[in-house]
Amino acid sequence: MKRKRGLIAAGILFVSLPLAAQERNGGADSAANGPAAIAKSNGESASLAGVRLHPRNALALPDAPRATPFPAAANITAEAPGRLVPRYELAGGYSYVNFNPGSPFPSFNNNGGSGSFAYNASRYLGLVAEFSGYNLGRDVSGTSGSGSWNTWLFGPRLNLRRFDYFVPFAEFLVGGSHVDAQITGDTSQNAFALAAGGGVDVVFSKHVAWRFAQIDYLMTNFSGANLGGTARQNNLRLGTGIVIRFGLPSPPPPPAPKRPPTASCSASPASVYAGSNDPVAVHVSASSPDNLPLTYAYTASGGGVDGNGPDARWNSSGVNPGTYTVSVKVDDGKGGTTSCAADIKVEEKPHHPPTVAVSANPATIKAGERSAISCNGASPDNLPLTYNYSASGGRVTGNGPRAEFDSTGVPPGTYSLKCEVTDSRGDNAAGSTDIDVQQPPPPPEMVRLEQRLSLHSIYFPTAQPTVAKPNGGLTPSQAATLDALAIDFKQYLTYKPDAHLILGGHADIRGTKEYNEKLSERRVERARGYLVEKGVPADHIEVRAFGFEKNMSSEDVQKLIEADPDLTPAERQRLVRNLLTVRLANNRRVDVTLSTTGEQSVRRFPFNAKDALTLLSRSGGETAKKKTPAAAPQKKTTP
């Protein structure tokens, strides 16, 4: 750790030297080489004193004495590349990580490369996506090996763009990392990763920069036999590379040349009724940049226009309903012209459409019931009305102001009923109402059965059932649990014939993944076969095998122990002292889920059962490669 701190301090000092040099150089030269001094030496106006001069070299070193003053006034206004803000930055280069696996393992070196893409949302804030890959070689317990690993990180980056050729930055990235078995000592893993640090880019030009140095604290969260017990690695990462900058702001456009006349048109009113013969005033607001006299020429897509100046009149006589355009060409007599147009809408005289109000009585019914529909339509012009009904479900009968909704055969839900009324001119109006169709209440016996349906997880002894005896391994206490489940579920099927039992098999963490998957398959098949023997239809049972992929943790098992109402405080303490044995036993189980309700079986280990010691025992193991400690003490049977 001391060595890492020393490396970080040295890196920070190394990174800060160019910045300090540029700051000192800028302050020392501000008076001697500033715009005022240059203007004075050239005999020019002191107005150049407000213009900033930028250093002429990328390393911010003091300029050598010059025999003549700085001559190029055009470069004074050019912005230095370090102060430009590229919208995007693409970086790639070398990356080194000093990986600290944790005590008692020594740190080891990792060499590789990294690439990143940054989007700069503002002058100071950027968003970074980074991918890095490394090769390693390490010696664990006298055995040498090599491997690889990578990280993918995302997060914000803060940039300080106040130097001409340097851009310091700080970043905080989070994401993930993948390592192979050479690091963990077990299997490859994916884990959370975090990087915090910064660096300096040396900007050669507006498109190319050198990532002079990047120093990060890199944290990973791997676990395994070749790693320390904290499951956290505090690593040091160093890097350098090339940055490609693009999406730079464009220079301002040149000043626009003088334009021809400008004009805009308006019409008042913008609409009239067909047959009213109302005139419309057309006004043109035009101007000439050279104050030349303007002439106006009008045309129209319909109707007539009277006038030859900035104001004219459009006559709507004889035109049909529609939209008409009046266009005008404005000419300054010197070859400069422009045009504009105004739209005028001719509308039919307004109709008074009908109105409608729809209601349902009752608005909430049971499936199979009916509801009376009232559609109260009215015509302000006293025209006859016709009625038309539609619904999103069910059936509607009726063609007048009264109708009926029939919910026979529709599933529970909310249905929208629409009534549309149309007058003799074709004007219409529509109204709607919602009818809530509810599911009739289930039979009371089914509700009581659903409440008492016995859903309890089934537990198996270690390594049972075996390949040789796939129909064994079911202890008397667990067989009794399956007996109760079979009786209740067969009766439940008379009310819910589409119901299923979903059996999920598990195994404790001992043994290989393939072994435990096969073992959990045998357990769910044993539970399924027993239920079928008791009369449960085989096509109403689904099985799933998880191996040790969904094992309960020690914390989960301890919570179950503390919540078990049948245990005394002393018994809970004894079980907690043997928590490893109890956790392994809790993961040798088959969970039961009821498909219609989603209810999952209660996970309560049968500590009171006579065969509890058999279920708790770790002897034999789920792998024959190692022995396990003695089982937890048997829970005394409660009278």
355-438: CATH topology is Immunoglobulin-like (2.60.40)
* Bridge partners (DSSP) listed for residue 113: 94, 133
Q: How far apart are CA 579 and CA 1, in angstroms?
A: 35
Provide the 8-state DSSP code for 351. P
pLDDT of residue 427: 87
Q: Tell me how far CA of residue 213 lies from CA of 59, 240, 597, in angstroms.
A: 14, 5, 59
User: Helix, strand, or coil here: 12?
Assistant: helix
pLDDT of residue 311: 92
Q: How far apart are CA 70 and CA 89, in angstroms?
A: 33
pLDDT of residue 185: 85
Question: Can you identify the CATH homologous superfamily of domain 262-347?
Answer: Immunoglobulins (2.60.40.10)
Contact call for residues 395 and 373 (beta carbons, < 8 A): no
pLDDT of residue 203: 95
Which tokens go with 547?
């191996």
Q: How far apart are CA 96 and CA 112, in angstroms?
A: 6
Consecutive 10-residue runs of the chain (639 residues): their mean pLDDT?
Answer: 54 53 47 40 38 43 47 50 93 95 91 95 95 90 86 96 94 95 88 96 94 95 89 94 91 68 91 85 90 90 88 88 91 89 86 88 87 90 89 88 88 90 88 87 72 80 93 92 90 89 93 93 94 94 93 92 90 90 92 88 88 86 41 39
What CATH number matches the domain at 83-246, 1.10.10.10, 2.40.160.20, 1.10.1370.30, 3.40.50.2300? 2.40.160.20
Q: Which amino acid is at 264?
A: S
On the question of a common fold for 355-438 and 445-616, the answer reads no
pLDDT of residue 133: 95
Alpha helices in 101-228 (DSSP H): 181-184
pLDDT of residue 63: 52
Starting at the edge strand found earlier in the chain, the sheet holding 364-366 runs: 364-366, 428-438, 413-423, 385-391
pLDDT of residue 312: 92
Which tokens go with 289?
């940049």
The residue extents of the domains of the chain are 2-78, 83-246, 262-347, 355-438, 445-616
445-616: CATH topology is 60s Ribosomal Protein L30; Chain: A; (3.30.1330)
